Amino acid sequence: MTRFRFEREWQVAAAPARVREVLLDLEHYPEWWPQVRAVAKIDDDTARVLCRSVLPYTLDLVLHAEDRGPDLLRTGISGDLDGWSAFRVRPGGAGTHVSYEQEVVVAHRALSLASRLVRPLLRWNHDRMMSGCEAGLSERAR
């Protein structure tokens, strides 16, 4: 299986509590994060999420909340990808410093084989996805 690790940091001109509130409201992600196409709540801690960035493939993921601490929001990921993602939210600059980490393996067999060949393209696609998150979160949190 192909493993990926992603990291990204940015500033949001809003209070940490507001940024955290937006990030915890998973059901409304499609309203501000263009690459999150649909969210279906399974229970209070779990949701099915469909994501599609630039490449013509929609990831089908199940996200399960693992930690909802004051500065760490960590989620387990299963489905087409298997692993975890985490947002860290803390005061910084004129608002909030947000850092994002994700570590996953490509669980879908055909996707895993393809990912070995087009790894740089998939990293670029993920970067486009996170650019949408950064812009959308900044706008929504204001």
pLDDT at 5 over 90: yes
The predicted pLDDT at position 117 comes to 82
The predicted pLDDT at position 113 comes to 74
Go through the domains of the chain in sequence order and give each one's CATH number: 3-141 (3.30.530.20)
Q: Identify which of 140, 128, 141 has the alpha carbon closest to the alpha carbon of residue 8.
A: 128
Strand order in the sheet with 3-12: 3-12, 95-106, 81-92, 72-79, 59-68, 46-51, 36-43
pLDDT at 100 over 80: yes
The predicted pLDDT at position 96 comes to 98
Q: What's the rounded Cα separation, in Å, for the pair 16 and 71?
A: 8
The predicted pLDDT at position 2 comes to 85
Tens of pLDDT, residue by residue over 101-127, are 999 998 877 777 778 788 899 999 999
Provide, rounded to the nearest whole percent, the portion of the chain with pLDDT above 70: 100
Q: Model-level pTM?
A: 0.93
Tens of pLDDT, residue by residue over 14-50, are 999 999 999 999 999 999 999 999 999 999 999 999 9
What mean pLDDT is predicted for residues 48-53? Answer: 98
What single DSSP character describes residue 108? S
Judged on CB neighbours under 10 Å (0-12, 13-18, 19+), 2 is: middle
Provide, rounded to the nearest whole percent, the portion of the chain with pLDDT above 90: 87
pLDDT at 141 over 90: yes
The predicted pLDDT at position 104 comes to 97
